[in-house]
Structure 1
Amino acid sequence: MTDRKDELAANLAKVEERIARACAAAGREREDVTLIVVTKTYPASDVRILAELGVRHVAENKDQDAAPKAATCSDLPLSWHFVGQLQTNKTRSVVGYADFVQSVDRARLVTALSKEAERAGREVGCLIQVALDAGEPSAGGGARGERGGVAPGGIGELAGLVAGSPGLRLAGLMTVAPLTGEYAGRQRAAFGRLMDLSTDLRRAHPAANMVSAGMSADLEEAVAAGATHVRVGTAVLGVRPRLG
């Protein structure tokens, strides 16, 4: 356990240094960027160590892994972020522990989250996941990218729905750097586009000021673009074990 704590502390220090350097280069304060450690596939014991080391935000992408882990760690001063594609039949479980759902990308999911948040007496922060590799929305709804998310043209309508739904709070926007399309391999441009979309969103919803972008490989580009939250897994926890 001591070895693992030393390993995580060293990794965390390196990531903190990267974020601090990126902030300095961008003329931003270090406090402007929140680190979310993505703990998917790693045990609750790692989450406990991270909390001891001062981490306050963790993220998971699968409810079947996240729910028991969050329950085991419910005594810790952590904010839990759900970042994976979310099926509506999992919303009751996710609302039980998630402070933020960063992967809101369709009206049906908003309705399900609102119903469960009201039932649980909780307020859940919602980020609209933007698919920068998606086409414009069709008459039947928002076009979605290969990793989930709503096309840029569908943000306004979905944001209005979240903002008007009991139990939900419109917190901002999230994206994953696209693997295909015009932004493939152009993370800085992709994150810059997300910032422009965030500026548009805040005209109608001033409090929706979270911008979640950037991971282990591209957090510098996200900070340079103006992201308020970066989601880092591998650089803190190590390369994930292959799942059978």
Structure 2
Amino acid sequence: MFSITENISRTLTLIREAELRAGRPEGAVRLLAVSKTKPARMVREAASAGQRDFGENYLQDALDKMAQLTDLDLVWHFIGPLQSNKTRAVAEHFDWVHSIDRLKIARRLSEQRPVGLPPLNVCLQVNISGEANKAGVTPDEAPALAEAIVKLPNLMLRGLMAIPRPETEQAAQRHAFSQLRQLQERLKPQAPTMDTLSMGMSGDMDAAIAEGSTLVRIGTALFGARD
């Protein structure tokens, strides 16, 4: 049974090794610790090991943890589906939102971002594998949404996020991630602030890093099985 500190160290080593194999500079990929459903004490332990970025899916659970961890300098990422009735709290408390796939939600976040806070960093969620049961815009829909979001005053469009269809072969994994990377390259002229590819989890992290991921989302390998 490894500690959270040991799990983080081991995961960072895997990320660095994947960077090396891909010919990318050390530190090109950040670790986003997916702390959803995990208690504040686990987040605190991860923070004591140097982890700063934490991903949450469930708003109330996240707000409870934030209230217990106000003494820590953490970066909070909302990575789950976002409903209209939750945008105000997300705009007030989070630093990033990875799951933007509707202009209505983006407008509400911009309007509800408190004065005095920096722009909210956002990523477009792209349904890169075309799965009927998965959220996200299609690649064809992404340019229009990106064009609209860059005009919103309190948002900063930072990049794209995707959760491709699970594949066991690395070639198939890389194909999906390559499509997302190419889409971002096409969008950059209209959204020059895009510098983030939020893609890759434990099972496909190597493929994601090989195709340009800058942020990998890891949960169970750090905190243990889901509750």
1:18 deviates by 0.9
Which residue, 213, 217, 224 being the options, matches 1:231? 217
Q: Distance in 1 between matches of 2:64 and 2:41?
A: 12
- Partner residue of 2:194? 208
User: % of aligned pairs identical?
Assistant: 37
What secondary structure sits across from 1:128 in the alignment?
strand
1:149 matched to 2:136: yes
Query: Which segments of 5 or more consecutive residues in structure 2 lack a partner in the other structure?
Result: none
TM-score, structure 2 length as denominator?
A: 0.93
Residue type at the aligned position of 1:202: K
1:175 deviates by 0.5
Change (3 A) 1:121 1:12: closer
1:125 matched to 2:121: yes
1:74 matched to 2:74: no
Contact 1:60–1:81 under 8 Å retained in 2: yes
Q: 1:149-202: per-residue Cα shift (whole Å, max 9, x none)?
A: 10001111111111101211111100012259xx9x922111111110111111
Contact 1:19–1:30 under 8 Å retained in 2: no
Residue type at the aligned position of 1:217: G
1:172 matched to 2:168: no
Q: Distance in 2 between matches of 1:123 and 1:68?
A: 23
- Partner residue of 2:46? 50
Contact 1:83–1:101 under 8 Å retained in 2: yes
Q: Distance in 2 between matches of 1:99 and 1:69?
A: 15
Q: Distance in 2 between matches of 1:34 and 1:129?
A: 18
Query: Which segments of 5 or more consecutive residues in structure 1 lack a partner in the other structure?
Result: 135-143
Residue type at the aligned position of 2:101: D
What secondary structure sits across from 1:96 in the alignment?
helix
Contact 2:91–2:110 under 8 Å retained in 1: no
Residue type at the aligned position of 2:154: G
Q: Distance in 2 between matches of 1:145 and 1:175?
A: 14
Contact 1:214–1:222 under 8 Å retained in 2: yes
- Partner residue of 1:83? 79
Change (3 A) 1:121 1:11: closer
Q: Distance in 2 between matches of 1:163 and 1:35?
A: 26
1:209 deviates by 1.2
Q: Distance in 1 between matches of 2:56 and 2:30?
A: 16
Change (3 A) 1:61 1:36: same
Task: Compare relative contact order (CA 8 Å, sep 6+) and give the higher one, 1 or 2.
Answer: 2
Contact 1:131–1:178 under 8 Å retained in 2: no
1:192 matched to 2:188: no
1:122 deviates by 4.4
Q: Distance in 2 between matches of 1:129 and 1:192?
A: 15
Q: Distance in 2 between matches of 1:118 and 1:161?
A: 21
Residue type at the aligned position of 1:152: P
Q: Distance in 2 between matches of 1:50 and 1:121?
A: 25
Alignment of 1:96-111 (within 5 A): 96-111=92-107
Q: What is the root-mean-square deviation of aligned Cα atoms in Å? A: 2.1
Alignment of 1:55-66 (within 5 A): 55-66=51-62
What secondary structure sits across from 1:214 in the alignment?
coil
1:118 deviates by 4.8
Q: Distance in 1 between matches of 2:105 and 2:33?
A: 25
Q: 1:73-104: per-residue Cα shift (whole Å, max 9, x none)?
A: 12211111000000011011111221010000
What secondary structure sits across from 1:102 in the alignment?
strand
Residue type at the aligned position of 1:176: I
